[in-house]
């Protein structure tokens, strides 16, 4: 079995720190997802997401992968998210539009974040 499940991540994070209480949350729309991500980033909490992607909607194909949203920018009409990705080839922090990040997060059947 690879890694852990998304529903177990809050417990693991909470067992290793006491500054914030991380929770698992399923969302229904971009209008619900983006403000939640923005609020958590503003208060200093990275947001864990799981994604499913094809090369047509992301840098690489994956049937399931975790990463963090570590920043955001909504100063213009195009919203952006800083993604911190542990992928073995595409690792690091890079900027994508919030729509792109939402699309691959929403493509996962859980439609969930850990915040």
Domain count, the chain: 1
15 falls within a domain: no
13 falls within a domain: no
pLDDT digit string, tens, across residues 23-48: 999 999 999 999 999 999 999 889 99
User: pTM for this one?
Assistant: 0.92
8 falls within a domain: no
Angle at Cα 21 formed by Cα 67 and Cα 47, nearest 5°? 20
Q: Locate tokens 């994070």: which residue?
A: 13
The conformation of residue 17, written as its DSSP 8-state character, comes to -
Calpha distance 78→80 (Å, rounded): 7
Indicate which CATH number applies to the domain containing 80: 3.90.70
9 falls within a domain: no
Angle at Cα 60 formed by Cα 84 and Cα 10, nearest 5°? 40
Range of the structural domain that residue 52 is part of: 24-114
- pLDDT lower than 50: segments of the chain: 1
10 falls within a domain: no
Question: Do 57 and 105 meet the contact criterion of CB atoms below 8 Å apart?
Answer: no
């Amino acid at each position: 079995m690879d890694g852990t499940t998304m529903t177990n991540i809050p417990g693991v994070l909470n067992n290793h720190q006491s500054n914030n209480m991380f929770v698992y949350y399923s969302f229904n729309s971009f209008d619900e997802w983006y403000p939640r991500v923005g609020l958590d980033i503003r208060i200093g909490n990275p947001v864990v997401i799981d994604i499913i992607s094809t090369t047509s909607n992301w840098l690489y194909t994956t049937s399931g992968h975790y990463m963090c949203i570590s920043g955001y920018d909504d100063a213009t009409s195009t919203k952006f998210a800083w993604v911190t990705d542990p992928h073995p080839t595409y690792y690091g922090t890079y900027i994508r539009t919030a729509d792109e990040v939402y699309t691959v997060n929403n493509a996962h059947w859980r439609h969930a974040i850990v915040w």
